[in-house]
Amino acid sequence: MLEPLLDRVKPVDLDAQNRALERQKNLTKPTRALGDLEALSIRLAGVFGTERPNPQSAAVIVCAGDHAVALEGVSAYPQAVTMGMVHNFLSGGAAVNALARSVGARVTVLNAGVMGTLEDAANLINRPVRAGARNIKLEAAMTRAECEEAIELGAEVARAEIALGADFLIAGEMGIGNTTPAAAITARLLNLEARGVTGRGTGLDDTALEHKISVIETVLSRSSTVDPLEVLCEFGGLEIAAMVGVMLEGAASKKAVLLDGFIAGAAALVADRLSPHFRPYLFASHLSAEGGHEKQLEHLALEPLLRLNMRLGEGSGAVLCIPLLRGAAATLREMATFTEASVANRGE
Amino acid sequence: MLEPLLDRVKPVDLDAQNRALERQKNLTKPTRALGDLEALSIRLAGVFGTERPNPQSAAVIVCAGDHAVALEGVSAYPQAVTMGMVHNFLSGGAAVNALARSVGARVTVLNAGVMGTLEDAANLINRPVRAGARNIKLEAAMTRAECEEAIELGAEVARAEIALGADFLIAGEMGIGNTTPAAAITARLLNLEARGVTGRGTGLDDTALEHKISVIETVLSRSSTVDPLEVLCEFGGLEIAAMVGVMLEGAASKKAVLLDGFIAGAAALVADRLSPHFRPYLFASHLSAEGGHEKQLEHLALEPLLRLNMRLGEGSGAVLCIPLLRGAAATLREMATFTEASVANRGE
């Protein structure tokens, strides 16, 4: 059922990357003077298939879902905060809204499985697959059908944003307790111990952190699967599955996918395992203060642009990086060459 | 002659900072979840004197000047490139132009002392104090009068940009050879050896780097002054003096001053020594690949927002950080509080 989506993820345009490299050599600046922006701009040339990429429009899809495992005491906040924060996103009062406005990005909320009933709203896609993921300490988060439905839902919403012009796709998230499924997915896909990928989330103390680790160990002991889709079903999270769909559709549509923090990282690991061509479309944004995030980025061979000790989720760190990617593309696209500017290059 | 300018640099608004801290505690996010953005937003509250700062408009003043010391073989590029790059700035083809357009910042070029004659142009302030700084291997870069004229010139141009609405001030620069005066100023003001603050600039090889270090050692041996204004006159650079003026005027007018790379860092060290109230108005942007920059930032107790291995100057790294500061202010200004959003805070 996911094959049509996965089949659409094709390699990036290496010819365009090579043309971009040639162009970059002649731009009016010393060699490598733009540092990491240079490689970034070449990657954007590959994604957008042109040596003068012009990505501007950005869409944040905040995927929301609840987790019955939150009742196991793995979060500093009560589960009702998921619903409360969804209302906050919809009225524009959350961090991701403020940051998105400041960089001119759209925010859409996708209810992939929040507990309780949400009224329809203009910027809400209200399509809960079920009322929260099941308690992963006891059973699989989702059935295969539910998981695939959530992935397709994310892909569908991403397609709608792309139809509106989005060049940058960000999968944000809200779901009290969701660092627990993200840690389980990460531990399994990277073959790591629970302890190595478990952090304080929204602010656990030492005792609560130890408890969370033991819960995740129990979760992991329930299933030995390493198949990425099965891992997602088992340890899941409906919003994490939806994020996988957003990311895969971004790559399938040849757009730049900006990675947010730890939860998004778990979704990216799944997408990366599902498609051999996905990774070049993925751009790291910030390094989260949630420890497992660094391991995800290392595995994906991605270098974060920002190290600001953020740990909020929502897509907030990725949104902050949109101007950096726009800027990288702008240098490649708009700078004059030495010849055009009649400036002597070194040694000339 | 500089006293009126220096007297206008007053402390930032600590009451506004405290109100901002109170507000921040109640915003709909876990404590410290926005990481370094939080302290940044509080600093902006202090600079702009409100707990809801709204800095948007940004002005880059690219200060240009030549250096007779460039003839001593301290740069990978010929001196004529300064003039060539000024033309490139004026026609909008340089990196700083592309980046500034991408974040909606204005670029103005200030000719503080380029060799040769520049035709007047719309975005050029064409007021050379003299045709390049003197050869600092042999004599002082500027007389005291020339130095103060260049500082006042930078301040005047900054005032004009502020009158047009600039909230963010960036002093950029162009001047072939200017990592040499910047290294001399930095070594003297931080009491370091030449070797510790001298880098490859636009791309020197090992032999040329050793030669550059020996030139800077000779420069430093010419004068033992530690008075900041005398250090600037001795080792100077007309564009560096103009940058000091831009920065001091930014602080005097209670605007945020964004620090670019190593040359800007040398100017900031001078401004910091000249005024006890300057430093809180200064925001580090990126960490330059030019080694002495890190030492400047350490001395100024500033943490860079970006570490992208850039080393271009022009103001380019600082321009990239404008959206990060806008974003930090946006979270403080626009996020809902827990009460406003009817979201339960932790433990409630």
Q: B72, B149, B249, B314: which one is catalytic?
A: B314
Tell me, what's the pLDDT at B76?
A: 86
Digit-coded pLDDT (tens) for B150-199? 999 999 999 999 999 999 999 999 999 999 999 999 999 999 999 999 99
Q: Which residues contact A333 (CB under 8 A, 6 or more apart)?
A: A52, A53, A54, B98
Q: Is residue B17 situated within a structural domain?
A: no
The pLDDT of residue B54 is above 80: yes
The pLDDT of residue B201 is above 90: no
* DSSP state, residue A280: G
Q: A101 to chain B, minimum CA–CA distance in Å?
A: 8
Q: Is residue B139 situated within a structural domain?
A: yes
A310 → chain B, closest CA residue: B35
Q: Is residue A67 situated within a structural domain?
A: yes
Q: Is residue B10 situated within a structural domain?
A: no
Output the domain CATH number for residue B160.
3.40.50.10210
Q: Is residue B335 situated within a structural domain?
A: no
Q: A321 to chain B, minimum CA–CA distance in Å?
A: 8
pLDDT bucket at B39, cuts 50 / 70 / 90: very high
Percent of all residues in chain B with a pLDDT value above 70, rounded to a whole number? 99
Of the residues A306, A321, A332, A348, the best mutation for testing chain B's interface (the one with the most B CB atoms within 10 Å of its CB) is: A306
Give the whole-angstrom CA distance, residue A267 versus residue A232.
9
Number of domains in chain A: 1
Tell me, what's the pLDDT at A346?
A: 60
Tell me, what's the pLDDT at B324?
A: 98
Tell me, what's the pLDDT at B252?
A: 98
Mean pLDDT for all residues in chain A: 96
Chain A residues touching B334 at Cβ < 8 A: 92-93, 97-98, 101
User: Contact B248/B267 with Cβ under 8 angstroms?
Assistant: no
The pLDDT of residue B61 is above 50: yes
Angle at the Cα of B167 (from B163 to B173), degrees rounded to 5?
90
Chain A residues touching B320 at Cβ < 8 A: 37, 323-324, 327
Q: A38 to chain B, minimum CA–CA distance in Å?
A: 9
Q: Which of B46, B325, B315 is nearest to B158 (CA)?
A: B315
Tell me, what's the pLDDT at B121?
A: 96
B100 → chain A, closest CA residue: A327
Q: What is the pTM of this model?
A: 0.97
The pLDDT of residue B347 is above 60: no
Q: B92 to chain A, minimum CA–CA distance in Å?
A: 8
Q: A115 to chain B, minimum CA–CA distance in Å?
A: 15
The pLDDT of residue A257 is above 70: yes
The partner residue sitting opposite A312, judged by closest CB among B33, B94, B323, is B33
pLDDT bucket at B25, cuts 50 / 70 / 90: very high
Q: Is residue A182 situated within a structural domain?
A: yes
Q: How far is CA B21 from CA A202, A308, B26, B74, B331, in A?
A: 20, 19, 9, 48, 12
Q: How many CB atoms lie within 10 A of CB B347?
A: 8
Phi then psi for residue B62, to 5 deg, are -85, 110
The pLDDT of residue A254 is above 60: yes
Q: A314, A334, A340, A348: which one is catalytic?
A: A314
Tell me, what's the pLDDT at A266?
A: 98
Tell me, what's the pLDDT at A20?
A: 98
B77 → chain A, closest CA residue: A346
Instruction: Name the residue with tokens 């948007």.
Output: B56
Digit-coded pLDDT (tens) for A2-47? 999 999 999 999 999 999 999 999 999 999 999 999 999 999 999 9
Instruction: Name the residue with tokens 């953020």.
Output: A310
The pLDDT of residue B278 is above 80: yes
- How many Cβ pairs closer than 8 A exist between chain A and B? 209
User: Contact B5/B152 with Cβ under 8 angstroms?
Assistant: yes
Digit-coded pLDDT (tens) for B107-162? 999 999 999 999 999 999 999 999 999 999 999 999 999 999 999 999 999 999 99
Q: Where are the alpha helices (DSSP H) in B93-135?
A: 95-103
Digit-coded pLDDT (tens) for A53-103? 999 999 999 999 999 999 998 988 899 999 999 999 999 999 999 999 999
Q: Can you tell me the mean pLDDT for A280-299?
A: 96
Instruction: Name the residue with tokens 């009702």.
Output: A80
Q: Which helix (H) or strand (E) holds A323?
A: helix A316-334
Amino acid at B167: D
Tell me, what's the pLDDT at A201?
A: 84
What domain range includes position A110?
58-329
Tell me, what's the pLDDT at A345?
A: 75
Q: Is residue B86 situated within a structural domain?
A: yes
Strands of A58-65's sheet in order across: A124-126, A105-113, A58-65, A168-174, A256-259, A282-284
The pLDDT of residue A348 is above 60: no
Tell me, what's the pLDDT at B208?
A: 93
Of the residues A114, A324, A339, the best mutation for testing chain B's interface (the one with the most B CB atoms within 10 Å of its CB) is: A324
The pLDDT of residue B271 is above 60: yes
Of the residues A37, A333, A342, the best mutation for testing chain B's interface (the one with the most B CB atoms within 10 Å of its CB) is: A37
Tell me, what's the pLDDT at A22?
A: 97
User: Contact B206/B171 with Cβ under 8 angstroms?
Assistant: no
Strands of B256-259's sheet in order across: B124-126, B105-113, B58-65, B168-174, B256-259, B282-284
Q: Is residue A227 situated within a structural domain?
A: yes
Annotation says A314 is catalytic: yes
Digit-coded pLDDT (tens) for B220-235? 999 999 999 999 999 9
pLDDT bucket at A337, cuts 50 / 70 / 90: very high
A341 → chain B, closest CA residue: B88
A333 → chain B, closest CA residue: B98
Tell me, what's the pLDDT at B346?
A: 60
Q: Where are the alpha helices (DSSP H) in chain B?
A: 3-7, 14-25, 36-48, 80-90, 95-103, 144-163, 179-190, 194-197, 206-221, 228-235, 238-252, 262-274, 292-299, 316-334, 338-341
Percent of all residues in chain A with a pLDDT value above 70, rounded to a whole number? 99
